Amino acid sequence: MIGVAMAPGGSACKEVVESLPTVVDNDVATTKTESNPTTTKSSVGFIGKHGVHSNNGVYELLECPLCRNLMHPPIHQCPNGHTLCLNCKIRVHNCCPSCWYDLGNISKLKHEQHCRFRPYNCPYAGSDCSVTGDIPTLVAHLKDDHKVDMHDGCTFNHRYVKLNPHEVENATWMLTVFNCFGKQFCLHFEAFQIGVAHVYMAFLRFMGDDKEAKMFSYSLEVGANGRKLIWQGIPRSIRDSHSKVRDSQDGLIIQRNLALFFSGGDRQELQLRVTGRIWKEE
């Protein structure tokens, strides 16, 4: 992906830009035959100063319109989409020579940090996975490499089991992914501590950006013996790591003693049933 950022709300430049020549550098390729060298246009496409073929227009996108050199970060862009290399930006006193608007100080690198099309990190919890990609790539990765449970539907009923829960301070259960409304949602369940309190936490993350995540809501419910806890919230985007969501306590939190009470029996084994549903806000 080649991306450059616009300077938001650019203002028109009032100073006059120094006159710079526009040089079109259409280099040609030399092919040699048995008789003598013949100079011909390249049959492959445009060849610039650096000998880069541009069948798909990539070279032209990265070519500075003034000096005709390849642009390297930081690449600057005016509000109307015209780009310029850093050296030429200085030469024209920060004014776009095409439309006379302020070029601003936002570069391609800064844009990539916040671009909504930037790759997502793998949402798998419990291991440091370095895989990144778009959502279809990560869904296939979770299924094939992490062997996570995949379910279709917007309601669920899960039971989480753990022997000797008093001996476990931190634990992460297997991730579950739900296909719902044509989107994917990750259900997390973890044991950790808040201060000196031992707790379990269930929460949902959305496989997409934060803006789209806010289009959905979900509820989680645990209970037994006539008691019930219900949580309702908005799924967090996987742009936020599972540890960030957990540490923000944005989910259903159950004290360990209460979770064992809900589990029944002699409270020596965790058997906690979590039910929930996902819906789309109108």
Select the highest-mean-pLDDT range: 14-18, 89-93, 170-174.
170-174
C-beta of residue 173 within 8 angstroms of C-beta of residue 135: no
Q: Which tens digit of pLDDT belongs to each residue from 189-230?
A: 999 999 999 999 999 999 999 999 999 999 999 988 788 999
Q: pLDDT higher for 30 or 274?
A: 274
0.95 exceeded by the pTM? no
Mean pLDDT of the chain: 79
Backbone torsions φ then ψ of 192, nearest 5 degrees:
-160, -175
* pLDDT tier for residue 45 given thresholds of 50, 70 and 90: very low
Helix, strand or coil, per DSSP, at residue 75: coil
Structure tokens at 81: 């989409």
Question: CA Rg, the chain, in Å?
Answer: 28
Rounded average pLDDT over 117-136: 91
Would you say residue 16 has pLDDT above 90? no
HEC profile for 143-210?
Answer: HHCCCCEEEECCEEEEEEEEECHHHCCCEECCCEEEEECCEEEEEEEEEEEECCEEEEEEEEEECCCH
Model pLDDT, residue 18 = 34
Query: Residue 82 — very low, low, confident or very high, per pLDDT cuts 50/70/90?
Result: confident
- Report the pLDDT averaged over residues 232-251: 95
Q: Nearest 5°: phi and psi at 90?
A: -70, -40
Residue 159 pLDDT > 60: yes
For residue 51, pLDDT over 70 is answered with: no
More confident residue, 67 or 139: 139
Residue 257 scores a pLDDT above 60: yes
The DSSP string of 8-47 is TT--B--SPPPP-------B-EEEE-SSSEEEE--SS--B
Per-residue pLDDT, averaged over 224-250, amounts to: 93
Structure confidence at residue 106 (pLDDT): 60
Phi and psi at 41, nearest 5°, equal -70, 145
Q: Is the pLDDT of residue 116 over 90?
A: no
Q: In the predicted model, what is the mean pLDDT of residues 11-18?
A: 35
